């Protein structure tokens, strides 16, 4: 015969087991929720990193497009790469503000479209692009090498550094600030061992909107533009 105590004990055991199962189930649900939250956070972090890499690639393509358009004196196409309120500063000629003024400066160099006998080669090398964490702005440093001349008349070799700013507008990257620091320009016939041309200055027939942000001499003098990035090893 089953006693009341046995029944009570059995009920207690069943209730205890049920309680333990409920607690285990709750803990399992909580663990699953935590795991799902962690997975979502990790996926978002990976997605963010991928987006920054895509932004970096887009900026490099933007700057390379600038170089190819410049090589062919495609000034309207070049100006379209800039934000409406962008600035351009090349050498020591000062700062030109806004798309229209940038286009005026570029067409002042040579007319739209290359003509026979003109050389306007412009290589951009060693890019270092850093996109801001929010993905809306970026900075980039480039080295450039230029070959400019007119057949049987002039030939010039030059090099320098770009330190640029970029901005993403409506999902499209544009040049916000282009600053070309001249390092060396020399007549091709002489070479840098014999002749070094001075840095450019503001032009009377095309005055800038602002004076140069920094006044410096180029080779044989030495000037190093500030780096926008930290040392990747020391962090300084």
Sheet holding 172-187, edge to edge: 95-97, 82-90, 172-187, 154-169, 137-150, 118-131
Q: How many domains does the chain have?
A: 1
Between residues 209 and 41, the one the model is more confident about: 209
Look up the pTM and report it: 0.83
Range of the domain at 176: 1-236
Instruction: Burial-class residue 150 by CB neighbours within 10 Å (0-12, 13-18, 19+).
Output: middle
| Dist CA 98 CA 183 (whole Å) | 26
Q: pLDDT-derived band of residue 48, with 50, 70 and 90 as boundaries?
A: confident
Which residues are paired to 131 by β-bridges? 138
Q: pLDDT-derived band of residue 149, with 50, 70 and 90 as boundaries?
A: very high
pLDDT digits (tens, 9 = 90+) for 87-144: 999 999 999 999 999 999 999 988 888 888 988 898 999 999 999 999 999 999 999 9
Domain of 111, CATH number, reads 3.10.450.50
Q: pLDDT-derived band of residue 11, with 50, 70 and 90 as boundaries?
A: very low
């Amino acid at each position: 015969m089953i006693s009341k105590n046995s029944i009570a004990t059995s009920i207690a055991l069943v209730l205890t087991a049920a309680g333990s199962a409920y607690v285990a189930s709750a803990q399992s649900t909580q663990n699953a929720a935590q795991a799902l939250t962690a997975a979502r956070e990790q996926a978002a972090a990976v997605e963010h990193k991928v987006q920054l890499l895509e932004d970096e690639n887009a900026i490099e393509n933007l700057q390379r497009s600038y170089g190819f358009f410049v090589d062919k004196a495609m000034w309207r196409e070049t100006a379209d790469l800039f934000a409406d309120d962008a600035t351009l500063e090349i050498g020591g000629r000062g700062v030109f503000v806004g798309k229209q003024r940038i286009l005026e400066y570029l067409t002042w160099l040579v007319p739209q479209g290359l003509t026979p006998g003109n050389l306007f080669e412009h290589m951009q090398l060693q890019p270092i692009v850093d996109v801001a964490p929010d993905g809306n702005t970026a900075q980039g440093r480039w080295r450039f090498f230029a070959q400019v001349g007119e057949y049987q008349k002039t030939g010039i070799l030059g090099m320098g550094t770009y330190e640029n700013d970029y901005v993403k507008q409506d999902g499209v990257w544009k040049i916000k600030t282009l600053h070309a620091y001249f390092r060396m320009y020399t007549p091709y016939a002489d070479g840098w061992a014999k002749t070094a041309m001075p840095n450019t200055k503001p032009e009377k027939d095309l005055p800038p909107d602002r004076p140069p942000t920094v006044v410096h001499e180029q080779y044989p003098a030495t000037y190093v533009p500030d780096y926008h990035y930290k040392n990747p090893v020391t962090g300084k």
